[in-house]
Amino acid sequence: MATTDEQKLNKSLSSNQMQMIALGGTIGVGLFMGSASTIKWTGPSVMLAYALAGGILYLVMRALGEMLYVHPITGSFADFASEYIHPVAGYLTAWSNVFEFLLVGISEVIAVGQYLQFWWPHFPTWLAGLVVIVTLCLANLASVKAYGNLESWFALIKVITIIFMIILGLLVIVLGVGNHGQPLGISNLWRHGGFFTGGWKGFFFSLSLVIASYQGIEIVGITAGEAQDPKHSIVKSIQSLIFRILIFYVGAIFVIVSIYPWNELGKIGSPFVQTFAKVGITFAAEIINFVVLTAALSGCNSGIFSSSRMLYTLSKNGDLPRAFTKISKHKVPYLTVIVMSLGILIGMLLNEVLPVILHTSTNAFVLVYSSSVLPGMIPWFVILISDLRFRKKHANELINHPFTMPGFPITNYIALGGLLITLIFMFVNPETRISIIIGLGFEIIMFCIYFTRQHLQRN
pLDDT of residue 223: 67
Integer Cα distance of 164 and 341 in angstroms: 34
382-433, pLDDT tens digit by residue? 999 999 999 989 888 888 888 889 999 999 999 999 999 999 988 888 877 8
Q: How high is the mean pLDDT of the chain?
A: 82
Which CATH number goes with the domain that contains 404?
Answer: 1.20.1740.10
pLDDT value of position 281: 78
- Give how many domains the chain has, as a whole number: 1
pLDDT value at position 5? 45
Contact 183, 176 (CB under 8 A): yes
Provide Rg for the chain, Cα atoms: 22
Give the tens place of pLDDT for each residue, 50-89.
899 989 998 998 999 899 888 876 657 888 999 999 999 9
Does residue 220 contact residue 5 with C-beta atoms inside 8 Å?
Answer: no
Q: In this predicted structure, what is the pLDDT of residue 366?
A: 52
Render pLDDT for 86-145 as a digit per residue (tens, 0 to 9).
Answer: 999 999 999 998 998 888 888 788 878 878 888 888 888 889 889 999 999 998 898 877
The vertex-111 CA angle with 28 and 265, nearest 5°, equals 60
Cis amide leading into 409 (omega within 30): yes
Residue 244 has what pLDDT? 77
- 167-181: pLDDT as tens digits: 888 988 998 887 778
**Strand, helix or coil at 13?**
strand
pLDDT mean over 329-356: 86
- The boundaries of the domain holding residue 126 are 4-458
